[in-house]
Structures are given as C-alpha cells and as structure tokens.
Amino acid sequence: MKELKDIINESFSKEYGYRVKIASDCSAEDLSKLEGALQKYNLVSATPWKRTPIQENPMEFQRMKGANFTSEVCSTDVVLKYPVNSRVLEVYLAVNLGMDHERVLAYGVKDPRKLESDLAQERNVRNNDRQFDQEEAVLNNEDMSHYNNEHVDVDASQEALFGEAYNEKFLAELQKIKNEKGEDYFTNFLNGYPTKDELMGDNLKSKYDEITGTAHGGQAPEPKHVDVVSQSSRRN
C-alpha cells in the first residue's frame, strides 16, 4: 500500500489543462494579465494567443451563453497545478481582465467541447479561400451517368432476376452443389434445425407430466403412510 506522503506527493505532481477563449481583440498585455491572474492556481504554462477571423455571433459563445456580437476569438491553452471549476474560472478571468462574463469561455482539455473546437478549426482552415459554384454542384447535375457507373457490374436484366431462365439457372446451381457435396447434403443441413414439436415444447410434455405428477419430480420413492395419533390416544 502507498504511504500518505506518496499520495500527497502524487497529488502535488498532477497538472490540469484548460482552454480559455476570449471574444475580443486580445493583446500581449491581456495575456500577461491572464497569466498574472492564474498565479492563484499556480500557473505552469500558457500558450500564445490563437486567433480566428472576425465573425458575427461566434458559435460557441452564442450556443453556451446566448451572446450576440461581432468579434474575433482568441484562445490559449493553460496548465495549472490546482484544479478549478470551469464556470468559476470564467467569472474569475472576466473580472480580472475587465470583460463581460459572456465574452469568456473556459473548459477542461478533456471536455468534448475542446475536440469539437479543434474539429471546427480544422474545417475553417480547409474552407479558407474555398470557392463554391452552385451551378457545378453534383446535386444539380441531371446527368445520371455517375449513378449508372456505380452499378456497372450489376446485371439488372429480367433474365438475371426472375423468369424461367432464372429458375433453370437456380436449379442447375443447386444440382451442382448436390453433386459436389453428396446426396444427403441438404437433408443433413435441414436436420440441424429444430422440429415443430421442439419449438413448441410438445416433446417435453411427457417429462413435464412425470415431474408434476409424482413426488419430488419422480426423483424420490413414493411417500410413506404415516399414522396420526390424536390426543385421545386413538389411532386414525
């Protein structure tokens, strides 16, 4: 078992990561203020600002806080020695940076919102300078050749799906299997399935009658007759 001092040492060696987002034009001075405020939680490190272009109603702020404004978003990843509730951290940073609470977001690095934020950032990078032309959209293309190409190897003719020719081909295939596997192949194959009596439990009826109709399910001898003597000493 671990000693108390080992447990305490491990607790002090833990680090807690958070992502802080601020909807504002952040400067190096703002980052210095943030680092100074986080000394309360024993700040380990803080990455430089990452910025997004100016946008109307940033998605995360509008969804989480119902905020409506136009601004760029700056984010930084911080590592602390002491854990803190994300909502408490938001209010604490907003007060120390002199900003409205609705313009500050904070969440742990293991929060699903971080993964969603990273994916959104990747989409923005891919879509940067991307041009869209509605006339060239595939859904607007009335040519069906691209659908036909997907089924080029599929025989959709009448003979391949039904009819006398299909039945003859099917029976020939069955005969081929029978010749390869032997005469009893299909019989033995079907014998592996339960019968109607087995499915309905009728084959167990005799066993049920034996169990319910005899003493101890038929596993013990017949019960012995026991005389009953009343208090008047008369034998019944």
Pairing of strands 104-108, 50-51: unpaired
pTM: 0.48
Same domain, 101 and 200: no
pLDDT for res 93:
92
Q: What spatial distance separates the first Cα and last Cα of the chain, rounded to whole Å? A: 72
**Whose structure tokens read 């806080």?**
65
- Domain assignment present for 231: no
Same domain, 120 and 46: yes
- Domain assignment present for 212: yes
Same domain, 120 and 209: no
Q: Is the dihedral of CA 171, 176, 179, 183 positive or negative?
A: negative
DSSP class of residue 11 equals H
pLDDT in tens, the chain (236 residues): 677 777 777 766 788 899 999 998 888 999 999 999 999 999 999 999 988 888 888 877 877 777 788 889 999 999 998 889 888 999 999 999 998 888 999 988 877 777 777 777 777 777 766 666 677 676 777 776 766 666 666 666 666 677 787 788 888 888 888 888 777 766 665 566 667 777 777 878 887 777 776 655 555 555 555 566 566 655 55
Geometric angle at alpha carbon 77, from 72 and 80, rounded to 5°: 140
Q: Give pLDDT tens digits for 91-123.
A: 999 999 998 888 999 988 877 777 777 777 777
Range of the domain at 55: 7-124
- Domain assignment present for 173: yes
pLDDT for res 184:
72
Task: Select from 128, 97, 104, 123 the least CA-distant residue to 19.
Answer: 104
**What total of structural domains would you count in the chain?**
2
Structure token digits, residue 32: 């210095």
